[in-house]
Structure 1
Amino acid sequence: MSKISRRGFLFGGAAATGALVSASAGAAVGASLGAEAATEAANKANLTAVLKRRERFFGQHQNGIETELQTFTNFVAFDLKPETDAAAAARWFKLITDDIARLSVGEAPLADPTPQLAMGPARFTATLAVGPGFFDKLGLADKKPTGFEQLPAFNVDQLREEYSYGDVLLHISADDPIILSHGVRSLVRDSVGFAKVRYSQQGFSNAQGVVPGGVRQRNLMGQVDGTDNPEIGSSDFNNIVWVENGPDWLIGGTFLVFRRIAMQLGTWDALGRTDKELVIGRNLQNGAPLGKQNENDPIDFDAVDANGLKLIPEFAHIRRAHATNPTERIFRRPFNYEVGVTPDGEPDVGLLWTAYQRDISTQFLPIQKRLDQLDLLNKWTVPIGSAVWAVLPGVEQSANGDYLGKKLFQ
């Protein structure tokens, strides 16, 4: 038998081993490439699905409320021009009703100079609402809902005119920023003959598919946002949100409180997790009330720790915001905003906070008054914009010339 030298063994073994490794690696790479190709195909299909998804336009209620959060949004408010009367406002609302109907199915509005940007619906919605001043300016004071006025002043407020009030609101949203931009341009273009833009406030939420279905988004402070909301489509939701008694033109509509809330993240980020949870009254990881396991567990405001101190302090946001009677409930649909970073490195961020309800005076106001009195979260959140809106009911698909707000002008 011939001897195998150590050198021959090493080099021969290395060659054999290299062949085995190469074969194994080739198989692994082939499998990996196959998996990547399948994943890429699935991703492309999902992206196409995002583009094609649409929200209904016609119906008893406007869309954009009882709707899963879109990824991008823009709240555009207008002030009526002095020469705009009720007849002109009716023509305006007819025009934008047609625009919204087309954009909602991915079509370009009539006479659109950039129809190629109408690439698909991407769950486009645009919700039309009117402010308290709308009625007086158009000689419609007799149709103004009782008590429909801007909110009273709160101690925590540092309101700025450029983020507040207005006569008409278009809340426009979509899952694609270019489709949203095109929709905003189209609707503003058909509006500026009747009104001047007062403000345009852009916001965002999680991209589609990032947050599993049924899980709430987080705001930029890291909190789970929207706990205790009524379930969309439920009788509970209907009873909290939609107007059933009141002016005929408002039946099927709702009232919106819109607040721009700036966050002081520099000092918030300096807090430890325990302190943050005491301020909120909830576990930051899953949103559970302190002392509980899950987000929707009943809150025990009487629970104490080993030292006899309340687990949820008197100043905790959850305690101040909690309804004291069944009427104090609202539907929140907030978006985040980010303008950029200030020269000193402070993020210019916050919430475009929205609350929908039948009656602002009995639902939102009692909650806000308690928050204004003793909510430690006020140290890091400052309302800098505010407005109230009467959201018009939906429009039925018919041949009778129906449009958003038609009954208001009859």
Structure 2
Amino acid sequence: MSTDETPAREGLQRRSLLIGAVAGAGVTGIGAASAVGLNEAFGAAEDPTADHSDAARHGLQVEPFHGARQAGVATLPQAFSAFIALNLNQGASKDSLRRMLRVLSDDAAALTQGRAPLWDQEPWLAENPSRLTVTFGFGPKAMALIDAARAPEWLKPLPAFDIDQLQDRWNQGDLLLQLCCDDKLTLAHAQRVLLKDSRSFAKVRWIQDGFRNTVGATPAGQTMRNLFGQVDGTVDPYPGEEDHEKVVYGRDGFEPWIEDGTSLVLRRIHMNLDTWDEADTPAREDSVGRKLADGAPLTGSQEHDEPDFEAKGPLGFPVIASYSHIRRSRTDNPDEKIFRRVYNYDLPVADASGMSRSGDISGGVSNTGLIFASYQSDPIQQFVPIQKKLDDMDMLNTWTVPIGSAVFAIPPGCEEGGFIGDGLF
């Protein structure tokens, strides 16, 4: 194992070799501009007038791992995500799951703080944590191994909905690792480390990669947009607001399945951009109930204006239609609320041609959608009623199809020296 000084010294040597190689290459075909550009980049990094303080480097920002609650739920959403479902090996036991969770927790704790785990073969890739969080979720099999009597009643597949075209490859797993980070390289390295930890205990069932705007691309606090171009999550009960504690952790409302625990409903939603392209802006806004440019309700002028569902247009029809997404997702029941922390996905396609039609989940030139992560104290009381209303008559169903669904119990956090889920064993 190298000393702490060795990677830095080797990095300087490699950098010097790289600069020399590129400078020489300018004579042989790459061109002087490439060498100048690279030297300027290194020069800027080494500018003696530059601010080298840790606070000036976004990559050094950290989110806590230890604590009463797991990070990655109330955390300000990061730019990139990887939701990973693992299936435990056939002979998994309570003891093997305990050992697995301890190893994963120890390494996740190190990685989130910018420290390489002991056997990390690329420790320099862990140096910029970039607000990395690792959140654990338990599926039915994991909870059955830990303590079946403490498994919440809602930890099971959701009821079937008419709009679903679920593909088994995106459905339930035994254990969830939710990785979120502001740097894709850091996230990819953490994912690799944790999957190497787990391969003696489990197999990867699926990985769902997602993204939002990168750091600094939009004003702070602006609601994210999905790939339909619409703002997504305007009415979320944000952390710090009165409703958030009740909605997510059951405070002053639902009975939590465990103190400081919550649930995650993960829905993979295919978005048909080909048929969306066929709708003009008024038709799109009618289906959503909001102006696409700024997210304001059709009866308002700013995103967070309260919609007026009673307002009528010149011909006497409601301005916000009864089938609009904003109307169908609203409820008069104060208990029917969720906290969403969603990510886009956009996968490469091969031999793309033609058009996909309404209801199709393949074809066309895009494989695009939403990783809809919904946190709530009780999915049956909070998520399912909202989903039933959307299932009945949401115009957005014309362009969206759920293709994956999973439910996980999110246990509390842990203190230093402990591991996620230790209080359940």
Q: TM-score range by the shorter chain?
A: 0.7 to 0.9
Mapping for residues 178-257 of structure 1, pairs under 5 Å? 178-243=185-250, 250-257=258-265
**Structure 2 CA distance, aligned partners of 1:46 and 1:380?**
45
Counterpart of 2:140? 132
Length-normalised TM-score, structure 1: 0.85
Asked which structure has the greater CA Rg, the reply is 1
**Structure 2 CA distance, aligned partners of 1:85 and 1:167?**
13
Mapping for residues 68-147 of structure 1, pairs under 5 Å? 68-136=76-144, 138=145, 140-147=147-154
Q: CA deviation at 1:234?
A: 2.9
Candidates 390, 400, 404, aligned match of 2:420 = 404
Q: CA deviation at 1:117?
A: 1.5
Candidates 337, 343, 362, aligned match of 2:345 = 337
**Structure 2 CA distance, aligned partners of 1:377 and 1:45?**
47
C-alpha offsets along residues 242-262 of structure 1, whole Å, 9 cap, x if unaligned? 1457577x2101111100100
Comparing 342-351 and 371-380, the one that deviates more: 342-351
Q: CA deviation at 1:44?
A: 9.4
**Structure 2 CA distance, aligned partners of 1:396 and 1:307?**
62
**Structure 2 CA distance, aligned partners of 1:280 and 1:254?**
29
Identity of matched residues, %: 43
Candidates 276, 279, 283, aligned match of 2:284 = 276
Contact conserved, 2:83 with 2:176, CA < 8 A, in 1?
yes
Q: CA deviation at 1:280?
A: 0.3
Contact conserved, 2:256 with 2:377, CA < 8 A, in 1?
no
Question: Are 1:154 and 2:161 matched, yes or no?
Answer: yes
Question: Are 1:350 and 2:366 matched, yes or no?
Answer: no
Counterpart of 2:332? 324
Q: CA deviation at 1:132?
A: 2.0
Contact conserved, 2:60 with 2:130, CA < 8 A, in 1?
yes
Contact conserved, 1:94 with 1:404, CA < 8 A, in 2?
yes
**Structure 2 CA distance, aligned partners of 1:299 and 1:157?**
29
Contact conserved, 2:263 with 2:377, CA < 8 A, in 1?
yes
Q: CA deviation at 1:119?
A: 2.5
Length-normalised TM-score, structure 2: 0.82
Q: 1:201 to 1:157 in 2, by over 3 A?
A: same
Q: Where does structure 1 lack aligned partners over 5 or more consecutive residues?
A: 1-36
Question: Are 1:176 and 2:183 matched, yes or no?
Answer: yes
**Structure 1 CA distance, aligned partners of 2:53 and 2:299?**
43
Q: 1:374 to 1:189 in 2, by over 3 A?
A: same
C-alpha offsets along residues 75-122 of structure 1, whole Å, 9 cap, x if unaligned? 110111121100110111111111111001111112112212112111
Contact conserved, 1:241 with 1:357, CA < 8 A, in 2?
yes
Q: Where does structure 2 lack aligned partners over 5 or more consecutive residues?
A: 1-43, 354-363
C-alpha offsets along residues 6-29 of structure 1, whole Å, 9 cap, x if unaligned? xxxxxxxxxxxxxxxxxxxxxxxx
**Structure 1 CA distance, aligned partners of 2:153 and 2:246?**
19
**Structure 2 CA distance, aligned partners of 1:114 and 1:146?**
42
Contact conserved, 2:289 with 2:321, CA < 8 A, in 1?
yes
Contact conserved, 1:58 with 1:395, CA < 8 A, in 2?
yes
Q: 1:94 to 1:238 in 2, by over 3 A?
A: same
Letter in 1 for 2:109: A
C-alpha offsets along residues 254-304 of structure 1, whole Å, 9 cap, x if unaligned? 111100100000110121110000000011111111111111111111111
Mapping for residues 305-320 of structure 1, pairs under 5 Å? 305-320=313-328
Q: CA deviation at 1:346?
A: 2.2
Contact conserved, 1:143 with 1:247, CA < 8 A, in 2?
no
Contact conserved, 2:412 with 2:421, CA < 8 A, in 1?
yes
Counterpart of 1:390? 409
C-alpha offsets along residues 323-378 of structure 1, whole Å, 9 cap, x if unaligned? 22110111110000011235124211100111100111111110000000101101
Contact conserved, 1:145 with 1:247, CA < 8 A, in 2?
no
SS in 2 for 1:388: strand
**Structure 2 CA distance, aligned partners of 1:83 and 1:246?**
34
Root mean square deviation, CA, Å: 2.1
C-alpha offsets along residues 111-157 of structure 1, whole Å, 9 cap, x if unaligned? 11221211211111110000123233x27321211232110111000
User: Would you say how many aligned residue pairs link Structure 1 and Structure 2?
Assistant: 367
Candidates 357, 365, 368, aligned match of 2:387 = 368
